[in-house]
Structure 1
């Protein structure tokens, strides 16, 4: 019998092109819709205008789901992403290659923890924040970090924010699996006595091949109310169990 780190999901939000609400995601989870490819961005008119101008598409996606879950003002934040603001970084590198000056704003927004910082500014939140980049396991390691924060102080929830987008064509030869344009926000908390909860763990060895994107398969697991979730990355097998 596997044991893992227990937690409960208080609130969730996800965004992908044409999937911008709970009902749309439920239809997708039932197999009635796909995640389309496109340059669509979410509506972020509730963010300050000055901030909106600084945000890349990834930034708008990430902050949209974070704002939608309405995290507690002092929630600790864990931001995870495999590729981060890769389009912003590529633009900076292209400018350097032709000896053009780089944008200070672009440089600041290309830093991996910049989106967590932007969220803290919007929410006036001085609580701790962590940024995770761990290749294909970025979502899984982000969740481990969030659960470690929760274990350290179970009295307040933790916001896990994961966002990614497809690599630009320049980096396509290095892409080992398809990464959809998608973001997920989970407010995780310690489960009360008798409350339904999840447990999350890692085997440390790879025993099966589980192709596909871990974020979308994890969203499907949550929305379908399934009992088990399994995914394998380069470092081993990851699993999550739902307990009644």
Structure 2
């Protein structure tokens, strides 16, 4: 989905596109770096670059499994005593995409990487908002990306996790304008409700007031206020 209308139709109840093997157009990225990117890298850096800010934000990267497809290829090479690619190894590290983004944008601000299972998006939001509260003078870019686990890991696969990437630029709300509050309760009062990403994006697109999601660690919520 690459238009506001398509996203809005999906937010109102439409299904995700059945073919998730398509790749975004990344021809505007430097060729030398572009060749090193996996599918996850291309979708993640596409949305990050599409933010289009002239500022140099701090970056929080969150993902359940990171570049797991590339990591599996390395493990398969090791299993048959083949040498592994240094470039492939470097790109399989969990914070590699945040590092690649900093190279392309010449951004020397702080960055961190989050891996927290099904609650990776939520912990990424907590990290980003905590950074913003600590120092509101500069924005924080939250970059979240995931892809369906390869067949080799099918016993551990969550069926509702799509190939996806989300980039949010967080900044303090202007005095008197609307904004969002995000929080967490360490007590889980409901059964875990699958992957939070799709419901959170629908909450934003629909302009709803409240969002709630339950994971293994507890209840997460977000409120829009005027």
Q: TM-score range by the shorter chain?
A: over 0.9
Q: Deviations over 1:84-142 (max 9, x none)?
A: 00000000000000000001111000000000011011101010111110111100000
Give, in angstroms, the shift of residue 177 of structure 1: 4.7
Q: What is the root-mean-square deviation of aligned Cα atoms in Å?
A: 1.2
Equivalence map 1:210-221=2 (5 Å): 210-221=192-203
Equivalence map 1:188-207=2 (5 Å): 188-207=170-189
CA contact (8 A) 2:148 2:157 kept: no
Paired residue for 2:41?
A: 59
1:122 and 2:122 correspond: no
Structure 2: distance between partners of 1:111 and 1:173? 23
> Secondary structure at 1:226's aligned position in 2?
coil
Paired residue for 2:63?
A: 81
* Structure 2 gap ranges (5+): none
> Secondary structure at 1:34's aligned position in 2?
coil
**TM-score of the superposed pair, with normalisation by structure 2:** 0.97
Paired residue for 2:223?
A: 241
Structure 1: distance between partners of 2:131 and 2:208? 26
Structure 2: distance between partners of 1:235 and 1:177? 20
Q: Deviations over 1:127-160 (max 9, x none)?
A: 0111110111100000111011111110111100
Which one of 89, 103, 115 corresponds to residue 107 of structure 1?
Answer: 89
CA contact (8 A) 2:140 2:170 kept: yes
1:146 and 2:133 correspond: no
CA contact (8 A) 2:192 2:216 kept: no
Question: How many residues align structurally?
Answer: 226
* Structure 1 gap ranges (5+): 1-18
**TM-score of the superposed pair, with normalisation by structure 1:** 0.90
> Secondary structure at 1:54's aligned position in 2?
coil
**Deviation >4 Å, runs of 4+:** none
CA contact (8 A) 2:136 2:172 kept: yes
Paired residue for 2:154?
A: 172
Give, in angstroms, the shift of residue 68 of structure 1: 0.5
CA contact (8 A) 2:145 2:165 kept: yes
Q: Deviations over 1:56-103 (max 9, x none)?
A: 000000000000011344210000000100000000000000000001
Give, in angstroms, the shift of residue 174 of structure 1: 1.2
In structure 2, relative to structure 1, the CA distance for the partners of 1:122 and 1:73 (3 Å cut) is farther
